[in-house]
A and B are shown apart, each in its own frame.
Chain A
Amino acid sequence: MFITDIKKDFYEVVANQRVALLVAGDIDALCACKILQALFHCDHIQYTLVPVTGWQELGTAFLEHKEQFRYFVLINCGANVDLLEMLQPDDDSIFFICDTHRPVDVVNVYNDTQIKLLIKQDDDLAVPSYDEIFRDEDEENEDDSGNESDEGSEPSGKRRRFDEGAVERRIERQRARREWEARRKEILFDYEQYEYHGTSAAMMVFELAWVLTKDTKDMLWWAIVGLTDQWVHDKITHMKYVTDVATMQRHVSRHSHRNEDEENSLSIDCMRISFEYDLRLTLYQHWSLYESICNSCYTCCHFKLWTLNGQKKLQEYLADMGLPLKQVKQKFNSMDMSIKENLREVIEESSNKYGIKDIRIQTFGAQFGFKNRFLASDMVHAAAALLESTEKDESDTDNFIKALDSLSRSNLNRLLSGIDLAKKKLIAIQQTVASCICTNLILSQGPFLYCYLMEGTPDVKLFSKPMALSLLCKYLLKAFVHSTRNKRCKLLPLVMAAPKDVEKGTIIVVGIPPESETSDKKNFFGRAFEKAAESTGSRTLHDHFDTSVIELKTEDRIKFLDALITLLS
């Protein structure tokens, strides 16, 4: 069931209890977790934090903790499956689910006792009404368990003879029921067909903090980073992003208000959060402007920087802005102050000339001390790079903790190391995109585009991780749409596969919806993957919380793909 009073029905329930906190591996979840941890510290609530990367781990984590814990808080996992069916918990385990995955499983919605959804109901949910999908058992006639449902079972020893009318009534009822079932199937199909994402978990938890009047600037910042993660990883529509930015902006001004007058002015060491209409250049404040332009999806695709012509155009563009190459190519921090002063305006003006209309975007920045300035997207890229780090053979849990740490102001070095990793990752993505486009690795399969990264491709290990591969997918599709002349291909979704585990012989497969500014970001590949796997008996693992990310045995790749084509044609 949906929780309406988050304070009374959630926070006060767990207040004096021990809580198991199961957190999925995405940045929004980390941010929500941060806020919740801060609240729990505040109120001395004991909790155990368990990172979970997929359904299997979620199951294991539950089994390990179900004896000691009654309350489980699930962040960004659990909403889109029938959780009780999957975990088979005892009657007294209670699950609080704060998850952006949509659609929410109907059983989760209508279970009143064990499933509590920390999800805003005004989110575009469109849950079918109870009567459309459930029938109470009492309504059903006890005699109705008759011949058809149980075909082939032993005949009963005794039979009663019914009224003639009763026979007709029963036939009528069975017909009505069959109709109802067909309709139910249709409704559920429509409802479950597309996967998409709702309001950021971090924002939900921040709202809790606010309702409790325990919200701090750090919490606000995490909520913003959570929202920005949804934008960076392309989980929500532009519309939704702008709306939620506005919500966050109100909180930002509320928090800044207190420190406006002279008397209460804050020390420079305190954090200030400000709304920015900033450049869409990834990590540019921690890079050189030139490198950021080259490795940002938005600019790279516009100039088609993988072509010679594109490179030339970039030079022209820089010249048009009147920025000396030497300045542009040195560290942003060391650029002349005079250039930096109205840099954003200068860039915007030239960009407009070059048809790059949306070079600026509504976002937020945080500053503490003189030196430390970060945009929300910087945080997201850094934390994501740490979370999926493939640098050393460290466990998922280690990476999780590092990524979590990087979100705290006290771990500045961690954050900076994350930014370095993120740069490497972005460069790898851009290089892969360029090589895929230049060597025509993107094939049109009819109903969708397809790209397979072979074992041995540079940086292929990086793309065995779901977030990195999804990001690559998004960048690649955008680049492809800019480079192809085939109009039809511009409207196609993209399926991408990369080696996952060479020893086990598995690949990771991701599907993303078609690229367009007005895209509703609804993804049908989750269902399609399931069906394709089912029809071919492919050995797949649907372990990821996003159903559009699966693992597949390498040998089954071809038949799986064929089935997918047939299914979607």
Chain B
Amino acid sequence: MSETPRLTQFKNKGKDANELRRRRVEVNVELRKAKKDDQMFKRRNVAAAPEEATSPLQERTQNCQNSRQWTIEEIVSGLNSGSRESQLQATQAARKLLSREKHPPIDQMISAGLIPKFVAFLGLMDFPPIQFEASWALTNIASGTSDQTAAVVEGGAIPAFINLVTSPHLHISEQAVWALGNIAGDGSALRDRVIKHGAVAPLLSLLAVPDLNVFTPGFLRNVTWTLSNLCRNKNPSPPISAVQQVMPALIRLLHHDDREVLADACWAVSYLTDGSNDRIEIVAGTGLIPRLVKLLGFEELPVITPALRAIGNIVTGTDEQTQAVLDAGALFMFPKLLRHKKPNIQKEAAWTLSNITAGKDSQIQEVIDAGLVPYLVDLLVRADYKTQKEAVWAVTNFTSGGTVQQVVYLVQANVLEPLLNLLSSKDCKTVLVILDAITNIFLVSRYKIGESDKLSLMIEEFGGLDKIEALQAHENEMVYKAALNLIEKYFSEEEEVVQCVVPQATDHSYTFQISDDQSTFNF
């Protein structure tokens, strides 16, 4: 009754849970973006050899053995010659130059004005070989920098490629899909241009077959990857109508058995869930959460990583969305994830958990019931630094939203010692969050059970008091103030007086049940 205002007064310190959560999302997005920018320059390899008419063996015997590389001038004159055959050869030569591993001459090709020629070749329906070579060449040009991709788009490639998606020749169709993927992968602007030109429908029509296994793995992978690029990037996020259009296909791909297809489909879901709550709702509303949870239990890292990311994104949403994840049994996957051999998985799992403990107390209870608190404590003790940071957040959110009983349980699970040890962290944000957690625990002990003396003693025994005292000399003012506040309130003599004034709350008799069977209450 009188507890409710008090609750809001201390628990979130003026910030409601949602705000707290949003801030957490932003931090993560920032990190991810930084990582993504790194990767833009590390283009990814193709793993499987492509499936098309010209086998590598053939090519080698034909002209590879003594294939001298063409110069740009030779290519230009070949393309300008009237003969179709020499145009094909020149296009192939250009494609080869663009396919070599080191320093493909993308800019030279662009400045030689070859893009419009290649785009024109895309339309030669009666001459498939040149369509294929031109598609490949343009794909590789579009794989470069933003400027290079833009050059391909300016050449009118998007509609031409969309036409080719439904080409009767599967290898041409695949190449066109790949090219569109490269264009859409450049960022929000080009992605939306691809969508506006109507790429989604033909792409989805490719998948309109009863059994996906009719396709080669490479083909299906390219389609999935391109679809994922259509879901990718924010500011703005992809148009809602397109997302809704893609969802059924995506769900189907999530049930496919190829590992790489699964991984890319999961990434697509993770992009779509990385946004506001209504964005999350579009995905969560399709009922794919149970499948995602199942994928969490897979062995393959490339699948687990995006599936966990998607789940993690969903629990940044509303309590109901979070509840859907819990109802799907996600928490039972967490013991494995929190002890995963890859530190990154541990970190993401801890991050996810931190957003769950930021939820309702019934949700915190589910975390407890799933037996995850000891794992969390374990992370605080021995995980790598980034994971520890996330675990600290999980604890702090727990202490701010948990019931007295739950917080008492947390303390009994030995959270204090590792938590206090982390006060020596160099990162002041983490220190502040820990100080918040300690304050929360004190508030619980003080208003509810009158056990703050015991708590002070415990903190002192774990060397926490020394650390908090030392923090009073911290260069960061917020840290200094928070530490000072704690010391003044709980580690100076006057507190006796305050305690006598506080009546023992009778409306919380359940809090004393624990103390009853232990004669004196003990954290």
Contacts and interface: CB of A to CB of B under 8 A. Distances in A.
Contacts of A162: 45-46, 99-101
Contact of A143 (B101, B140, B142, B225): B101
A158 B186 contact: yes
Contacts of A503: none
Contacts of B400: none
A68 interface: no
A155 to B, nearest CB: 6
B382 to A, nearest CB: 10
Nearest to A166: B101
Nearest to A169: B101
A159 B101 contact: no
Given A141-B101, A154-B267, A155-B228, A161 B46 contact: yes
Interface stretch (A78-86, A144-152, A208-216, A353-361): A144-152
A166 B143 CA distance: 17
Interface string B164-198: 00000000000100100110011100000000000
B344 interface: yes
Among B32, B99, B136, B228, find the residue whose CB has the most chain A CB atoms closer than 10 A. Answer: B99
Interface stretch (B56-64, B282-290, B472-480, B485-493): B56-64
Contact of A153 (B99, B136, B305): B305
A163 B67 CA distance: 13
Looking at A153, A155, A156, the one whose CB has the most chain B CB atoms below 10 A away is A155
A141 B60 CA distance: 23
Interface of B is mostly: helix
Contact of B43 (A156, A164, A168): A156
Chain B interface size, under 10 / 10 to 19 / 20 to 34 / 35 or more: 35 or more
B142 A152 contact: no
B182 A155 contact: no
Contacts of A163: 96, 99-101
A135 interface: no
B228 A165 contact: no
Contact of B45 (A143, A152, A154, A164): A143
A524 B206 CA distance: 63
B185 A157 contact: yes
Nearest to B224: A155
Interface stretch (B14-22, B33-41, B496-504): B33-41
Contacts of A151: 301-302
B44 A155 contact: yes
Given A146-B44, A170-B45, A141 B102 contact: yes
A173 to B, nearest CB: 10
A1 B139 CA distance: 49
Contacts of A146: 44-45, 47
A449 to B, nearest CB: 34
Given A151-B302, A152-B301, A159-B143, A167 B49 contact: yes
Nearest to B54: A164
B389 interface: no
A142 to B, nearest CB: 7
A316 to B, nearest CB: 63
A152 B302 contact: yes
Given A152-B302, A154-B35, A160 B99 contact: yes
Contact of B139 (A142, A145, A147, A160): A160
A533 B518 CA distance: 38
B390 interface: no
A143 B301 CA distance: 21
Contacts of B143: 158-161
Contacts of B232: 157
Contacts of B306: 154
B87 interface: no
Contact of A154 (B36, B101, B144): B36
B6 interface: no
Nearest to A165: B56
Contacts of A165: 56, 59-60, 64
Given A158-B142, A166-B99, A168-B56, A152 B136 contact: no
A155 B266 CA distance: 11
28 contacts: A141-B102, A143-B101, A147-B44, A152-B302, A152-B342, A153-B35, A154-B32, A155-B44, A155-B267, A156-B40, A156-B42, A156-B43, A157-B40, A157-B185, A157-B186, A158-B149, A160-B43, A160-B99, A160-B139, A160-B140, A161-B46, A161-B139, A162-B45, A163-B99, A164-B56, A165-B56, A165-B60, A166-B100
Interface of B: 32, 35-36, 39-40, 42-47, 49-50, 55-56, 59-60, 64, 96, 98-102, 104, 136, 139-140, 142-144, 149, 175, 178, 181-182, 185-187, 225, 228-229, 232, 263-264, 267, 301-302, 304-306, 342, 344-345
Given A146-B47, A152-B304, 11 more contacts: A141-B102, A142-B42, A152-B302, A156-B40, A156-B42, A157-B182, A157-B232, A161-B50, A161-B140, A161-B178, A170-B101
Counting from the closest, the 8 A-B pairs by CB-CB distance are: A157-B185, A164-B56, A152-B305, A160-B143, A146-B45, A152-B301, A163-B99, A156-B44
